[in-house]
Amino acid sequence: MDLTDTTTLVTGASKGLGTAYAHELARRGSHLTLIARPAPALEDLAADIRREHRVEMATIAADLTSADDMGASLNEVRTRATVARLTGRINRRAGKSSVVGEVR
């Protein structure tokens, strides 16, 4: 399945299945937002995926078992999605195509 120009959120991305999913999604062309802890492992993964697959990456270092971190992460994802939608609208008006999804 071609995922070019989509963005996928991957939680628990710094090890195990999360890392495997992140690599596979990037291989299929999806840009990624990765959420995991600890931050150094997350940044290392993001650098590896950028180098191997040349997709856009965003990282959020958070412990999703913490209500505070979960709320902050959700706000960050919403903010990034809003920016992506605005950028997509600007790109369409400028004659560039983009696919933007909805985060609720």
Is the whole-model pTM more than 0.75? Answer: no
Q: Does the pLDDT value for residue 34 go beyond 80?
A: yes
Domains and CATH numbers, the chain: 7-93 (3.40.50.720)
Instruction: Kindly indicate the confidence band of residue 29, based on its pLDDT and cuts at 50, 70 and 90.
Output: very high
Mean pLDDT of 30-45: 90
CA distances from 87 to 6, 38, 55, 63 (A): 14, 30, 17, 29
pLDDT in tens, 38-87: 888 999 999 999 999 999 888 988 888 888 988 888 888 887 776 655 55
